Structure 1
């Protein structure tokens, strides 16, 4: 007879947009390594860990996923913590509840990325001769300045992800 055991694990999928969630119905999901039908208790906590909204979800044993929808249309805007707990493991995620979430425009960033490749070949001839250096540098300075925007999610999302990872690590200990 072989017996194997593993520590209970529970996680929350990031349901925010840059750390923000719009008022209304919010779908929250995550994963767990618990058996099929395990109940996950989901709570939205305000200041002093007051429960603002709550719901339950069941773990789908074949996929290890759970999901529920919480109505936060009547909840005031502010900073909240979503906590998921199944009596063996827990996870939490902090978010900002706002009236509406602005959708970030990330399409200009990819079109600017190829223009960053163009200055690279012009830099090679500029190293060879000093007179042609001034002409291409003047022509390429404008695209180089516009391509300095950071592609991806940005610093705020990276910090939120870091904080969430730290919270999960602390909760496991």
Structure 2
């Protein structure tokens, strides 16, 4: 029985070590290819709108805003267009509790709006409760007459009907006319202040712009105050809400305001918001930090791999090129010696080609193409070819080394 060759055992260790180093380098350099990592798509920001719109064949209508603060007297503007130049449209506003509401917010009958030049308008201040409101706009037939001569006032609704039942009653009464429906909402009043700057500072002796959001009606007043630590107001301003965008904006005069910590207040009569700001004497320019020299992921991976190899094998890879040449020679000899019984093994051979039958020959010639001349070369290999190929390579090397050792 032949004794195992210790030199071949060391060569096998070098082969495995070289493969591990190569894999770690490719994994760091091309993480998406090797590991199959994918970057999730960014979630697209969904646009916000505060306008409710309904369109029909003969009539269109828009409500602005579609959501309004409840219980503070804010109004909703209704604008519409018709296919006829003159005549009337009928409007029914059904509250959360199934009652008809007039433009003034009180329980009432329908509203009749005059069409002029193919357009009409209406203003509702009926949002005393939080919840959903249904506005029905009725357009008459082509002859200008409504299918129902009944106005469907407050007395037309039975006691205890729901909002949906009231809506269905109107639609049934105007079966021969076109009815479009808008959904409006009464919400809890809200008010907020946008960040004044990235670091919360304001420059003194200047006029700064302060912005925020609110769900109040168009033109609602927002009072902005800047107070010091003792609660004394040092400057104030007034803004108007833009109901279509749900925002407000004001210029705040800080001329004469001393540097220090202050509280910025905003109030609209229904809600209140505040934030802490720092007033500085002049705008500070951030100090530029020298950019660090980037360290490539490949260098880090090589260092980590080298330390791992030292722990496993007990010695550093002092000569990477010699190790890889020995690895290629060993892989070529292992595969060649096992695949072909007619191959002549010689340490001084210059033209020994790894060959074999079927899939072994294809692997030896098509992928590795290992030759003893010049220490061997690898052609056609694609870095980062995947986990399956890496495992297959380890299996082939292990089988070759095992048979070498037995021989």
TM-score class normalised by the smaller sequence: 0.5 to 0.7
**1:7 equivalent in structure 2:** 188
CA RMSD of aligned residues (A): 2.2
Q: State yes or no: 1:126 paired with 2:308.
A: no
User: What is the DSSP-based 3-state SS (H/G/I as helix, E as strand, rest coil) of the residue aligned with 1:129?
Assistant: helix
C-alpha separation in 1, matches of 2:245 and 2:285? 30
Q: In 2 relative to 1, CA 127–47 (structure 1 residues): closer, same or farther, beyond 3 Å?
A: closer
- Could you tell me whether the CA contact under 8 Å between 1:55 and 1:70 is conserved in 2? yes
Shift of 1:80: 0.5
Task: Report 1:95-134 matches (<5 A).
Answer: 95-104=277-286, 112=292, 115=294, 118=296, 120-130=297-307, 131=316
Unaligned runs of 5+ in 2: 1-93, 95-131, 134-184, 308-315, 318-407
Shift of 1:68: 0.8
C-alpha separation in 1, matches of 2:260 and 2:246? 31
C-alpha separation in 2, matches of 1:34 and 1:27? 20
Unaligned runs of 5+ in 1: 133-173
C-alpha separation in 2, matches of 1:49 and 1:34? 27
**1:33 equivalent in structure 2:** 215
Shift of 1:5: 2.1
User: What is the DSSP-based 3-state SS (H/G/I as helix, E as strand, rest coil) of the residue aligned with 2:285?
Assistant: coil
User: What is the DSSP-based 3-state SS (H/G/I as helix, E as strand, rest coil) of the residue aligned with 1:48?
Assistant: coil
C-alpha separation in 2, matches of 1:121 and 1:54? 58
Q: State yes or no: 1:82 paired with 2:261.
A: no
Q: State yes or no: 1:73 paired with 2:235.
A: no
User: What is the DSSP-based 3-state SS (H/G/I as helix, E as strand, rest coil) of the residue aligned with 1:127?
Assistant: helix
Superposed CA offset, 1:51-80 (max 9, x none): 110010000011111111111121111110
Q: How does the TM-score come out when normalised to structure 2?
A: 0.29
User: What is the DSSP-based 3-state SS (H/G/I as helix, E as strand, rest coil) of the residue aligned with 1:125?
Assistant: helix
Superposed CA offset, 1:109-140 (max 9, x none): 8x65x925x2x3222112222457xxxxxxxx
User: What is the DSSP-based 3-state SS (H/G/I as helix, E as strand, rest coil) of the residue aligned with 1:128?
Assistant: helix
User: What is the DSSP-based 3-state SS (H/G/I as helix, E as strand, rest coil) of the residue aligned with 2:230?
Assistant: helix
Shift of 1:48: 2.3
Task: Report 1:54-69 matches (<5 A).
Answer: 54-69=236-251
Q: How does the TM-score come out when normalised to structure 1?
A: 0.66
Larger Rg belongs to: 2
- Could you tell me whether the CA contact under 8 Å between 1:17 and 1:101 is conserved in 2? no
Count of residues in Structure 1 that have an aligned counterpart in Structure 2: 127
Give the counterpart of 2:273 among 65, 87, 91: 91
**2:232 equivalent in structure 1:** 50
Superposed CA offset, 1:13-53 (max 9, x none): 11134121111111111111111111000000112211110
C-alpha separation in 1, matches of 2:229 and 2:306? 64
